[in-house]
Amino acid sequence: MEIRFVTPEARGAGALAVVVGVDGGMGATARAIDEASGGLLRRALELAGLPLDRGQIVDVVVPAAAGWDRVLLWAVPTPEVLPVKDAVELGAGLATAALARKLERLTLLVEAAGDAVTLGLVEGTALRSYRFDQFKPAKTNGAKKLAALNVATPHAVALAAAWPAREAVVAGTHLARDLVNRPANSLDTDAFVAAAKELTSLGVEVTVLDRAAMAELGMGALLGVAQGSRMPPYTVLMHWRGAGDDRAPLALVGKGVVFDSGGLSLKPPKSMETMKCDMAGAATVVGALHALARRQAKANVVGAIGLVENMPSSTAQRPGDVVTSLAGKTIEVLNTDAEGRLVLADVLAHVKATQKPQAMIDFATLTGAIIVALGYEHAGLFANDDDLAAKLLDAGEATGETLWRMPLGKGYTKQLESPIADLKNIGKPGQAGASIGAAFLEAFVGDGPWAHVDLAATSFTESEHPVGGRGGTGWGVRLVDRLVQDAFEG
Ligand code: BES
Ligand code: MN
Ligand code: ZN
């Protein structure tokens, strides 16, 4: 979407959205438009009944003499001090309303909002103006999307200067959505590597480990998952060095299973339908790196993603196979569908050993159990460090990409004991599956702050999410952006 910031004018053309208070309060420009329309705006507000609901839109057709075709009076509560995440959510509602009215261009008049609120409203509108149209381009009379937004504000100059940093985050979110939405026959592991390499144009250094390099390093856990597919596996490292020194980086690690059939522990058909989304953790990492690099974040951040396809075949790993991980620990693979933890075990250990990160956070669609525990409301957070956990929880609250802390502990670790290997990859059925997955990862992260975010629910939805839409949500890009801004920059 094309966004411009302009100075408010009473006369214009096309559709105009006007921010009004829930009490119907209007700014000076809005009052001038009301006057030019013979008081229609005021009357429409009164007919709608004051106070308006939060986010309510009152449609008014104004006389041709007023210039505008139509005015959408849009109720935004306390625009001076509204929390930014609420502004984002309201902004997304405006995009939905524009879509419902088939508007492709819109002017938004915001006269009395704080700058952070105005930016939040615009960010929400931009976030929600997304369509995945690789395979179904918008037809002339089909679903359209809002393509251009003129933001009319008395602070046009300051906001135009501040917007690009937010636009970077919107673009990173849309990139993550595109990656998740692409099916595995479009986004295979090679295509994912190509997408990651595009970050080089933003100043990110990208290095790729192929099968031979990973075999040399001893990444037997990741390679075991990959061996059933003809698609080659990769580990991709992405360095953003924005701190201007050699400070230890924040490491972001992502599960990138481009398709999860379950392997020989094959999933039933229904569960497999959405398993193109099993690379959403890696998509979040790539999207976040895109956002951070594009807004020139003053932090050192390294992204690392493990890319594999989990398939059944005569070369696939069997239940009962024992693999040796990069960390040297042997793993009895009792269920080939618990593959994400095998991939991450090696990538986490590699990052820990080679990058010496100040903190390490992994993002993974790791377990169906986290959906059972938390639904689609929060992602699951597991951490060995209260300070890192608190920072993540705060960033979640600030952005609306919320986390709920879940337990680790000896009891879960104990379930992973194997009679023939250092550990096995599953625990007891029906018992705290998300914590078991996290406890498995914990065995490979060593000491130092680490957090695991299970986004199996939040990264993909089959119903419409208010901000994220349908399909890939890009969940986590805004969270990481906020975390870096608040806790790792400056
Ligand atoms: N990719 C799945 C988890 C998943 C489920 C993601 C639903 C998104 C939506 C993961 O690899 C998996 O299959 N986990 C198993 C683990 C079990 C075999 C211990 C699960 O959750 O059933
Ligand atoms: Mn699986
Ligand atoms: Zn999986």
* 189 three-class SS: helix
The amino acid present at 425, given as its one-letter code, is: N
Q: How buried is 63 (Cβ within 10 angstroms: 0-12 exposed, 13-18 middle, 19+ buried)?
A: exposed
- Regarding the beta carbon of 107 and ligand 1, being less than 6 Å apart is answered no
Reading the block at residue 295, the tokens are 């807004």
Centre of ligand 3 to C-alpha 314, Å, is: 20
- Regarding the beta carbon of 396 and ligand 1, being less than 6 Å apart is answered no
Give the pLDDT of residue 39.
97
Alpha helices in 356-462 (DSSP H): 369-374, 386-399, 410-414, 433-442
- Regarding the beta carbon of 456 and ligand 1, being less than 6 Å apart is answered yes
Q: Please name each of the domains of the chain with its CATH number.
A: 2-154 (3.40.220.10), 184-488 (3.40.630.10)
The amino acid present at 93, given as its one-letter code, is: G
* 130 three-class SS: coil
- Rounded CA-CA distance 348/336 in Å is 19
Give the pLDDT of residue 143.
60
Q: How many CB atoms lie within 10 A of CB 266?
A: 15
- Rounded CA-CA distance 460/473 in Å is 6
Give first-to-last CA distance, the chain, whole Å: 31
**pLDDT values of the chain reduced to their tens digit, one per residue, 490 residues:** 999 999 999 999 999 999 999 999 999 999 999 999 999 999 999 999 999 999 999 999 999 989 999 999 999 998 888 999 999 999 999 999 999 999 999 999 999 899 999 999 999 999 999 999 999 887 655 567 899 999 999 999 999 999 999 999 999 999 999 999 999 999 999 999 999 999 999 999 999 999 999 999 999 999 999 999 999 999 999 999 999 888 999 999 999 999 999 999 999 999 999 999 999 999 999 999 999 999 999 999 999 999 999 999 999 999 999 999 999 999 999 999 999 999 999 999 999 999 999 999 999 999 999 999 999 999 999 999 999 999 999 999 999 999 999 999 999 999 999 999 999 999 999 999 999 999 999 999 999 999 999 999 999 999 999 998 899 999 999 999 999 999 999 8
- Rounded CA-CA distance 121/129 in Å is 12
Ligand 1 atom closest to the CA of 369, numbered from 1: 21
Give the pLDDT of residue 176.
98
- Rounded CA-CA distance 87/77 in Å is 9
Give the pLDDT of residue 369.
98
Centre of ligand 3 to C-alpha 159, Å, is: 42
* Residues sharing a CB contact under 8 Å with residue 445, sequence separation 6 or more, in sequence order: 348, 349, 352, 360, 384
Centre of ligand 2 to C-alpha 265, Å, is: 9
